[in-house]
């Protein structure tokens, strides 16, 4: 089963991707995480991507398409995968079609911009394992420390108000057109439940099950 999670930055794609990954035993693939990892390791890929990411811009299509092509041929993807943060442009979606990747279902997590803004501006992430927290909605047990691995909690460079607004604009201009792209193929399900991550997860899993 090959799935795509579509949604604005901060819509909860990462959290829902993990839930799908657990329940359906398919890997969650986040191009954002792969890029951040490359930056952390000082790889050439990371050097290329960093300036775009820090400004909230999209990394060029050729780069992310290559990353994805390399990732989905790995062994763990043979029974399917869930893509978190890819495709983000029409050319990226067309690239999937071109390489013959059949997509079964696209789940859009629809969250209003003002909710996104407050979620992302208060987000803190573990610099070691990436687990997300929030200064008011999801506090760690010990301030500044990850519950999972005791790593340090930091603010992502692109989680400041101006950059969040730029990312939202990029989403509406370049990524939102993918809704029609997949609706026209009868593959789109919309999850509008965002009041809590738990409710959003139930709705997301229900949408995935609808396809089996």
- Applying CB under 6 A, the span of 20-28, 49-57, 145-153, 196-204 interacting with ligand ADP comes to 49-57
Kind of pairing between the strands at 132-134 and 123-126: antiparallel
> Which residues are part of the catalytic machinery?
13, 88, 123, 156, 167
- Applying CB under 6 A, the span of 26-34, 39-47, 128-136, 190-198 interacting with ligand ADP comes to 26-34
Does position 56 interact with ligand ADP (CB under 6 A)? The reply is: yes
Shortest Cβ distance from residue 124 to Zn ion (Å)? 11
* Structure token pair of residue 44: 């050439």
Residue from 192, 208, 211, 212 nearest 200 by CA: 192
φ, ψ for residue 166, nearest 5 deg: -65, -40
Which residue of 47, 99, 149, 206 would you call a contact of Zn ion, by CB under 5 A? 149
Q: Which is nearer to Zn ion, 152 or 199 (CB)?
A: 152
Does position 85 interact with ligand ADP (CB under 6 A)? The reply is: yes
Does position 99 interact with Zn ion (CB under 5 A)? The reply is: no
Task: Tell me the three-class secondary structure of 143-195, residue by residue.
Answer: CCECCCCCCEEECCCCCCHHHHHHHHHHHHHHHCHHHHHHHCCCCEEEECCCC
Shortest Cβ distance from residue 14 to ligand ADP (Å)? 7
CA distance 149 to 145: 8
Which residue of 53, 82, 125, 126 would you call a contact of Zn ion, by CB under 5 A? 126
Does position 32 interact with ligand ADP (CB under 6 A)? The reply is: yes
- Applying CB under 6 A, the span of 19-27, 39-47, 86-94, 127-135 interacting with ligand ADP comes to 86-94
Q: Which is nearer to ligand ADP, 57 or 165 (CB)?
A: 57
- Give strand pairing partners of 28: 82
- With a CB cutoff of 8 Å and minimum separation 6, the contacts of 164 are 9, 10, 56, 116, 117, 120, 121, 158
The interface with ligand ADP within residues 146-175 (CB under 6 A) comprises 158, 167
Return residues touching ligand ADP (CB under 6 A): 9-10, 30-32, 35, 52-53, 56-59, 64, 85-86, 88, 92, 158, 167
């Amino acid at each position: 089963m090959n799935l795509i999670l579509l949604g604005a930055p901060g819509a909860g794609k990462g959290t829902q991707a993990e839930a799908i990954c657990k329940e359906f035993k398919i890997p969650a693939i986040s191009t954002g995480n792969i890029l951040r990892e490359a930056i952390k390791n000082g790889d050439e890929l990371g050097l290329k991507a960093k300036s775009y990411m820090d400004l909230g811009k999209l990394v060029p299509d050729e780069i992310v398409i290559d990353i994805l092509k390399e990732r989905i041929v790995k062994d763990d993807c043979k029974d399917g995968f869930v893509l978190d943060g890819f495709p983000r442009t029409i050319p990226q979606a067309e690239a999937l079609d071109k390489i013959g990747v059949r997509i079964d279902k696209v789940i859009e997590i629809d969250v209003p911009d003002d909710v996104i803004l407050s979620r992302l501006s208060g987000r803190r992430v573990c610099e070691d394992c990436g687990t997300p927290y929030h200064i008011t909605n999801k506090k760690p047990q010990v301030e500044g420390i990850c519950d999972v691995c005791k790593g340090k909690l930091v603010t992502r460079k692109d989680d400041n108000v101006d950059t969040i607004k730029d990312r939202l604009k990029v989403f509406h201009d370049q990524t939102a057109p993918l809704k029609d792209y997949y609706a026209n193929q009868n593959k789109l399900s919309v999850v509008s439940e965002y009041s809590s991550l738990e409710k959003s997860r139930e709705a997301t899993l229900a949408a995935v099950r609808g396809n089996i």
